[in-house]
Amino acid sequence: QKEVEQDPGPLSVPEGAIVSLNCTYSNSAFQYFMWYRQYSRKGPELLMYTYSSGNKEDGRFTAQVDKSSKYISLFIRDSQPSDSATYLCANGGSQGNLIFGKGTKLSVKP
Protein backbone atom coordinates (compact mmCIF):
# COMPACT_ATOMS: atom_id res chain seq x y z
CA GLN A 1 0.00 0.00 0.00
CA LYS A 2 1.36 3.39 -1.02
CA GLU A 3 1.87 5.69 1.95
CA VAL A 4 -0.20 8.51 0.45
CA GLU A 5 -3.26 7.65 -1.64
CA GLN A 6 -4.90 10.18 -3.93
CA ASP A 7 -7.56 9.79 -6.61
CA PRO A 8 -5.89 10.87 -9.86
CA GLY A 9 -9.11 12.11 -11.44
CA PRO A 10 -9.33 13.84 -13.84
CA LEU A 11 -11.80 16.22 -12.27
CA SER A 12 -13.65 18.74 -14.41
CA VAL A 13 -15.78 21.51 -12.87
CA PRO A 14 -17.43 24.72 -14.14
CA GLU A 15 -15.95 28.08 -13.19
CA GLY A 16 -17.16 29.23 -9.78
CA ALA A 17 -17.65 25.73 -8.39
CA ILE A 18 -16.32 24.56 -5.05
CA VAL A 19 -13.66 21.89 -5.53
CA SER A 20 -12.85 19.21 -2.99
CA LEU A 21 -9.60 17.25 -3.30
CA ASN A 22 -8.75 14.45 -0.90
CA CYS A 23 -5.94 12.15 0.21
CA THR A 24 -5.42 9.46 2.79
CA TYR A 25 -2.10 8.62 4.38
CA SER A 26 -0.84 5.64 6.35
CA ASN A 27 2.24 6.81 8.29
CA SER A 28 1.16 8.44 11.56
CA ALA A 29 4.76 9.45 12.28
CA PHE A 30 4.61 12.13 9.61
CA GLN A 31 3.22 15.28 11.16
CA TYR A 32 3.45 17.78 8.29
CA PHE A 33 0.89 17.94 5.49
CA MET A 34 1.22 19.91 2.29
CA TRP A 35 -0.66 20.64 -0.89
CA TYR A 36 1.38 21.45 -3.98
CA ARG A 37 0.06 22.72 -7.31
CA GLN A 38 1.80 21.68 -10.51
CA TYR A 39 1.11 23.30 -13.85
CA SER A 40 1.94 21.39 -16.99
CA ARG A 41 5.70 21.14 -17.60
CA LYS A 42 6.49 23.05 -14.41
CA GLY A 43 7.78 22.03 -11.00
CA PRO A 44 5.40 21.71 -8.02
CA GLU A 45 4.78 24.88 -6.00
CA LEU A 46 3.62 24.91 -2.40
CA LEU A 47 0.02 26.02 -1.86
CA MET A 48 -0.75 25.13 1.73
CA TYR A 49 1.10 23.62 4.66
CA THR A 50 -0.39 22.40 7.95
CA TYR A 51 1.09 20.78 11.00
CA SER A 52 -1.86 19.88 13.18
CA SER A 53 -5.41 18.65 12.74
CA GLY A 54 -8.04 21.21 11.84
CA ASN A 55 -8.51 23.79 9.14
CA LYS A 56 -6.18 26.35 7.63
CA GLU A 57 -7.49 28.99 5.28
CA ASP A 58 -5.63 31.12 2.73
CA GLY A 59 -7.81 33.16 0.41
CA ARG A 60 -9.93 30.80 -1.68
CA PHE A 61 -8.07 27.74 -0.40
CA THR A 62 -8.77 25.73 2.76
CA ALA A 63 -6.69 22.78 3.90
CA GLN A 64 -8.18 20.33 6.36
CA VAL A 65 -6.40 17.57 8.28
CA ASP A 66 -8.15 14.82 10.26
CA LYS A 67 -5.44 12.82 11.98
CA SER A 68 -7.91 10.37 13.55
CA SER A 69 -8.97 9.14 10.12
CA LYS A 70 -5.66 9.98 8.38
CA TYR A 71 -7.53 12.10 5.85
CA ILE A 72 -6.40 15.39 4.30
CA SER A 73 -8.47 17.67 2.09
CA LEU A 74 -8.08 20.79 0.02
CA PHE A 75 -11.11 22.95 -0.80
CA ILE A 76 -11.04 25.59 -3.51
CA ARG A 77 -13.85 28.14 -3.46
CA ASP A 78 -14.97 30.12 -6.51
CA SER A 79 -12.71 28.06 -8.76
CA GLN A 80 -11.12 29.84 -11.72
CA PRO A 81 -9.77 28.55 -15.04
CA SER A 82 -6.31 29.52 -13.76
CA ASP A 83 -6.74 26.88 -11.03
CA SER A 84 -6.54 24.19 -13.73
CA ALA A 85 -3.49 22.13 -12.72
CA THR A 86 -2.49 18.94 -10.98
CA TYR A 87 -2.81 19.07 -7.19
CA LEU A 88 -0.42 16.94 -5.17
CA CYS A 89 -0.82 16.12 -1.51
CA ALA A 90 2.29 15.27 0.48
CA ASN A 91 3.35 14.53 3.98
CA GLY A 92 6.61 14.25 5.82
CA GLY A 93 8.48 14.50 9.09
CA SER A 94 10.23 17.54 10.49
CA GLN A 95 12.98 17.19 7.91
CA GLY A 96 13.92 15.01 5.01
CA ASN A 97 11.96 13.96 1.99
CA LEU A 98 8.25 14.31 1.30
CA ILE A 99 5.92 11.46 0.35
CA PHE A 100 3.59 12.51 -2.46
CA GLY A 101 0.28 11.21 -3.71
CA LYS A 102 -0.25 10.59 -7.42
CA GLY A 103 -1.84 13.98 -7.93
CA THR A 104 -5.36 14.94 -9.05
CA LYS A 105 -5.68 16.68 -12.40
CA LEU A 106 -8.23 19.49 -12.16
CA SER A 107 -9.79 21.31 -15.07
CA VAL A 108 -11.95 24.40 -14.45
CA LYS A 109 -14.08 25.22 -17.49
CA PRO A 110 -15.01 28.86 -18.19
Is position 25 an interface residue for other proteins (rule: CB under 8 A)?
no
- Tell me the window of 54-62, 65-73, 74-82, 97-105 that interacts with other proteins (CB under 8 A): 97-105
Q: How many residues bind other proteins (CB under 8 A)?
A: 27
Q: Alpha-carbon distance 88 to 46, whole Å?
A: 9
24 lies in the binding site for other proteins (CB under 8 A): no
The secondary structure element, H or E, covering residue 88 is strand 85-92
> What does the alpha-carbon distance between residue 53 and residue 13 come to, in Å, rounded to a whole number?
28
Query: Is there binding between residue 106 and other proteins (CB under 8 A)?
Result: no
Query: Is 4 a binder of other proteins (CB under 8 A)?
Result: yes
Judged on CB neighbours under 10 Å (0-12, 13-18, 19+), 33 is buried
- Enumerate binding residues for other proteins (CB under 8 A): 4, 6, 8, 32, 36, 41-46, 49, 51, 88, 90, 92-103
